[in-house]
């Protein structure tokens, strides 16, 4: 290589340059010129590009009807990065051996506030059969009770200006309205955010919104609309300059916005999609009549053990999940919790081997390429622990099983709160101020400290907090963590 060629700028990833990527990079296995738009996706952030777009990239090798029109509801950032790249980007799958894949399933990126007519045209097109969303829980504009939040500023605006929506719900309804008037069948709406019963909640919000505008439209959506519940899972660290440099070195192409995620990925969809929906099962999507069963397994086995490693790991001086699971004592605790304490409380949904799932989770924790910080997992413990741990623990108590290990994450959380409070560090939690005050006041005495924490009624149900077996077990674990 000459000095001049060594200093020349790298080619930008694009439709013309990607075939020249360094050998070993996985390239689209289909002719992008023949791809049709069959999916409109609202909210094309990192997770969508690491997850749903990855599945459709595989599907396009078998069926060209399922290209994606990605719609940004707010920012033009994704469009500005991907448009010069013809929608292409690199996905780095991080594992013991990292692989790089050029994803070509996004064939169009629109910014809704800049071009509403183009978004509406895509939503109303007969070829559009699926609308998917990753807009975060807040993007569903739901109230605390779970219904449509009619006081949300975007909802207020959209109800007053339904042809100029700002919210995801507003766009979904306007697209459905246009199909209704055109005599087309509704598209299936697939929520892909981690929100329990996400599809059902979104349908209720959409029907409520439509009902404010047109009773016949609302009745049509209620009767014919398809809003499956889903579960998604894959750790997707943020893109940084280190990733851009790594992608350039591995592919030979400059990518303005590559994406990285762990190799593991999971997409579970309620098996109610219409007959003309894409064949998602053929590319590894799990279709099931028991999404809640998968959610429950994930919540207890993955999230519950994550929280355990977070609090116990921080107390032992670790920073990341990888460090924590590399600690033999914590690794043994994690496995025993899963196998002996959590799996006995679960009924496996069809298609899920709980023992294999637990082993897959432990393997994910041991992935050296993922720096998942314990401090971040530790956020919002007062809200997470009741769902991640207390359900399992309560069922174990009722069944007469040991709760010796199940109380460890609770005792570790209490010690963590005291540690943070006494060092003056902020506690990221809706009850942060109250927990800081409590953490400063505790003395280290197991009986009085645990009693003070168990008095947090928003965290610990009264009946559980008064159960002598539970209290004694927490006090014992708390004292042993000193």
pLDDT of the residue at 96? 86
Where residue 8 falls among pLDDT bands split at 50, 70, 90?
low
What residues contact residue 220 under an 8 Å CB cut-off, 6+ apart?
Answer: 176, 180, 186
What are the pLDDT digits (tens) for 30-50? 999 999 999 999 999 999 999
DSSP string, 174-238: HHHHHHHHHTPPPPEEEE-SS-TTHHHHHHHHHHHHHHTT-HHHHHHHHHH-----EEEE---PP
Q: Domain ranges for the chain, please list them.
A: 3-289, 292-480
* Region label for 444, one of left (φ > 0), alpha (ψ between -120 and 50) or beta (otherwise): left
Q: Residue 110, Cβ neighbours under 10 Å: how many?
A: 22
pLDDT score of 7 more than 80:
no
- Which residue is listed with tokens 């609770």? 410
**16: DSSP letter:** T
Where residue 63 falls among pLDDT bands split at 50, 70, 90?
very high
Domains 3-289 and 292-480 share a fold: no
pLDDT of the residue at 9? 78
Bridge-based pairing state of the strands 130-133 and 37-42: parallel
CATH fit for domain 292-480, picks 3.30.2000.10, 1.10.3720.10, 1.10.1040.10, 2.60.120.460 = 1.10.1040.10
Where residue 423 falls among pLDDT bands split at 50, 70, 90?
very high
- Summary count for the chain: helices (H), strands (E): 23, 13
- Which residue is listed with tokens 């809200």? 383
What residues contact residue 80 under an 8 Å CB cut-off, 6+ apart?
Answer: none
pLDDT of the residue at 5? 43
What are the pLDDT digits (tens) for 193-250? 989 999 999 999 999 999 999 999 999 999 999 999 999 999 999 999 999 999 999 9
Q: Which residues pair with 40 in a beta bridge?
A: 69, 131
Strand ranges across the sheet with 230-233: 230-233, 266-270, 286-288
pLDDT score of 254 more than 60:
yes
Query: Across all residues in the chain, what is the average pLDDT?
Result: 96
Percentage of the chain beyond pLDDT 90 is 95
The CATH code that applies to domain 3-289 is 3.40.50.720
Bridge-based pairing state of the strands 188-191 and 37-42: unpaired
Confirm whether pTM is higher than 0.85. Answer: yes
List b or e across 284-321, with b for residues whose CB sees 16 or more CB atoms inside 10 angstroms.
ebbbbebbbbbbbbbbbbbbbbbbbbbbbbbbbebebb
Where residue 340 falls among pLDDT bands split at 50, 70, 90?
very high
Helix axes 304-315, 328-336, angle to 10 degrees: 150
pLDDT score of 450 more than 70:
yes
pLDDT score of 22 more than 60:
yes
pLDDT of the residue at 417? 98
């Amino acid at each position: 290589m000459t000095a001049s060629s060594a200093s020349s700028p790298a080619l930008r990833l694009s439709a013309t340059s990607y075939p020249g990527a360094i050998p070993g990079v996985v390239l689209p296995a289909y002719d992008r010129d023949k791809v049709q738009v069959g999916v409109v996706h609202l909210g094309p952030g990192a997770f969508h590009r690491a997850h749903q777009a990855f599945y459709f990239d595989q599907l396009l090798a078998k069926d060209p009807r399922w290209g994606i029109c990605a719609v940004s509801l707010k920012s033009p950032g994704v469009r500005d990065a991907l448009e010069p790249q013809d929608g292409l980007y690199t996905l780095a799958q991080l594992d013991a051996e990292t692989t790089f894949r050029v994803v070509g399933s996004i064939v169009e990126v629109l910014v809704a506030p800049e071009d509403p007519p183009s978004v509406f045209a895509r939503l109303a097109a007969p070829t559009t059969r699926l609308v998917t969303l990753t807009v975060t829980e807040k993007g569903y504009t739901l109230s605390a009770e779970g219904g449509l939040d009619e006081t949300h500023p975007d909802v207020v605006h959209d109800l007053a200006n339904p042809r100029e929506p700002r919210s995801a719900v507003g766009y979904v309804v306007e697209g459905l309205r246009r199909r209704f008037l055109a005599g087309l069948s509704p598209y299936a709406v697939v929520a892909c955010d981690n929100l329990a019963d996400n599809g059902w909640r979104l349908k209720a919000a959409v029907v409520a919104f439509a009902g404010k505008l047109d009773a016949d439209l609302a009745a049509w959506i209620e009767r014919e609309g398809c809003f499956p519940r889903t579960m998604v899972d894959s750790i997707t660290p943020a893109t940084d300059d280190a990733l851009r440099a790594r992608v350039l070195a591995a592919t030979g192409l400059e990518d303005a916005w590559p994406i990285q995620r762990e190799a593991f990925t999971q997409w579970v969809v309620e098996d109610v999609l219409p007959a003309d929906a894409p064949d998602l099962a053929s590319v590894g999507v799990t279709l099931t009549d028991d999404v809640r069963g998968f959610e429950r397994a994930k919540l207890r086995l993955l999230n519950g053990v994550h929280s355990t490693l977070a609090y116990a790991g921080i107390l032992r001086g670790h920073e990341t999940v990888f460090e924590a699971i590399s600690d033999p004592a914590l690794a043994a605790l994690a496995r025993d919790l899963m196998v002996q304490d959590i799996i006995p409380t679960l009924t496996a949904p069809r298609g899920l081997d709980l023992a294999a799932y637990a082993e897959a989770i432990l393997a994910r924790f041991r992935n050296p390429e993922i720096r998942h910080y314990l401090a971040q997992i530790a956020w919002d413990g007062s809200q997470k622990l009741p769902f991640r741990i207390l359900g399992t623990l309560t069922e174990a108590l009722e069944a007469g099983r040991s709760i010796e290990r199940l109380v460890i994450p609770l005792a570790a959380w209490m010690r963590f709160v005291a540690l943070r409070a006494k060092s003056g560090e902020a506690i990221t939690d809706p009850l942060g101020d109250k927990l800081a005050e409590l953490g400063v006041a505790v003395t280290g005495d197991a009986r009085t400290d645990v009693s003070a924490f168990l008095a947090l009624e928003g965290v610990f149900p009264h009946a559980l907090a008064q159960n002598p077996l539970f209290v004694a077990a927490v006090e014992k674990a708390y004292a042993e963590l000193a």
